[in-house]
């Protein structure tokens, strides 16, 4: 069953007196449990597509349907609710909130859901356990390494048990060892919890883990490949 359905998507940005077309006639579908990646050079439209799927942006033309909701028709409030409950984000620069501890960073989405304190604590510790950072719960982001920071970001995206996780260049700031660790963690979560992962990347290391690769060039999806067996790579 498709949890993301993109039909004739066009995204244009105003530039000077004209428009720059970032995405042009994109038609894609993603099913539950996929571990897919958008690959392509800088400016090919990967991040723009992720942002639209994540309801952080809206299509100029066409239709993007995520978890049964049309992104173009959502109000700010509805889009925020969709992101808060059903979509997790992982960013290249981690985007951890600097004044909060690791625990509080992971807890943040649950606070917005008005979850009780006991349930929040349980969920946060479980998420930190997934990424192997329970001992860092009280640390501030400034005390973490890049790999640890990204694992916190993964825990933060996973703590609410979303249907979809969008990861924008998650390994771009990490060394090879940390990249593999991160990807393996995500792959495990994908398998264990059935969460759909959608990456944007041009990192070869990431591509080895993906079971589907969509190549973008100048805003167009030029290739859509499904891999057969690439999920158990060793670090």
Partner 1 sequence: MLALTLAFKNLIGAGLRTWLNVIVLSFAFVLMVFYNAMIDGWNRQGRNDTQDWEIGQGQYWHPEYDKYDPYTIQDAHQLISDDIQAMISGGELTPVLISQATMYPKGRMQAVVLKGVDPKQEILKLPTADLINVQDKTAAIIGKRMSENAHLKVGDAVLVRWRDNKGMFDAMEITIGAIFKTDVPSIDIGQMYLPIRVLQKMTSMTNEATFLVAGDNSSLDPITDWTFRDTDFLLADLDAMIQAKKGGGMVLSGMLLLIALLAIFDTQVLSIFRRQKEIGTYIALGMTRSQVVGLFTVEGGAHSILAALFGALYGIPLFLWLDTIGLNFGTSSGDAGITVAEIIYPYYSVGLIVTSLVFVVISATIVSYLPARKIAKMRPTDALKGKLQ
Cα distance between residue 199 and residue 166, in whole Å: 6
- Minimum distance, C-beta of residue 83 to partner 1, in the bound complex (Å): 5
- Minimum distance, C-beta of residue 192 to partner 1, in the bound complex (Å): 23
Q: Which is nearer to partner 1, 107 or 148 (CB)?
A: 107
Say how many CA atoms lie within 13 Å of 8 toward its Cβ.
Answer: 3
Decide if 185 contacts 154 (C-beta within 8 A): yes
Distances (CA, A) of 159 to 39, 76, 107, 166, 203: 27, 23, 8, 14, 26
Q: Which is nearer to partner 1, 51 or 196 (CB)?
A: 51
- Minimum distance, C-beta of residue 208 to partner 1, in the bound complex (Å): 27
- Minimum distance, C-beta of residue 18 to partner 1, in the bound complex (Å): 19
Instruction: Compute CA 140 distance to the chain's CA centroid, rounded to the nearest angstrom.
Output: 23
Q: Which is nearer to partner 1, 109 or 171 (CB)?
A: 109
Instruction: Compute CA 189 distance to the chain's CA centroid, rounded to the nearest angstrom.
Output: 13
Give every CB contact of residue 208 below 8 A, 6+ residues apart in sequence. Answer: 230, 233
- Minimum distance, C-beta of residue 19 to partner 1, in the bound complex (Å): 16
Decide if 89 contacts 121 (C-beta within 8 A): no
Cα distance between residue 5 and residue 134, in whole Å: 37
Q: Which is nearer to partner 1, 9 or 213 (CB)?
A: 9
- Minimum distance, C-beta of residue 46 to partner 1, in the bound complex (Å): 13
How many of the other CB atoms lie within 10 Å of CB of 71? 24
Compute φ and ψ for 125, nearest 5 degrees.
-65, -35
Q: Which is nearer to partner 1, 68 or 98 (CB)?
A: 98
Cα distance between residue 23 and residue 46, in whole Å: 9
Footprint on this chain of partner 1 (rule: CB under 8 A):
47-48, 51, 54, 56-57, 76-77, 80-81, 83-85, 89, 91, 93, 95, 97-100, 104, 108-109, 111-113, 156
Q: Which is nearer to partner 1, 133 or 153 (CB)?
A: 153
């Amino acid at each position: 069953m498709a949890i993301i359905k993109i039909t004739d998507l066009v995204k244009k940005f105003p530039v000077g007196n004209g428009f720059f077309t970032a995405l042009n006639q994109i038609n894609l579908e993603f099913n539950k449990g996929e571990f897919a990646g958008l690959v392509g050079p800088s400016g090919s439209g990967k991040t723009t597509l992720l942002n639209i799927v994540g309801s952080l942006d809206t299509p100029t033309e066409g239709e993007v349907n995520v978890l049964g909701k049309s992104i173009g028709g959502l109000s700010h409030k509805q889009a925020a609710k969709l992101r808060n409950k059903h979509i997790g984000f992982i960013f290249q620069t981690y985007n951890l909130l600097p004044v909060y501890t690791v625990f509080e960073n992971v807890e943040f989405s649950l606070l917005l859901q008005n979850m009780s304190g006991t349930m929040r604590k349980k969920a946060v510790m479980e998420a930190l356990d997934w990424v192997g950072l329970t001992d860092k719960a009280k640390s501030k982001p400034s005390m973490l390494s890049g790999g640890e920071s990204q694992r916190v970001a993964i825990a933060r995206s996973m703590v609410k048990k979303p249907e979809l996780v969008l990861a924008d260049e998650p390994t771009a700031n990490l060394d090879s060892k940390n990249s593999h660790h991160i990807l393996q963690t995500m792959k495990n979560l994908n398998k264990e919890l059935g969460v759909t992962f959608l990456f944007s990347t041009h990192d070869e290391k990431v591509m080895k883990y993906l079971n589907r690769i969509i190549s973008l060039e100048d805003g167009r999806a030029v290739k859509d490949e499904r891999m057969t067996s690439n999920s158990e790579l060793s670090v």
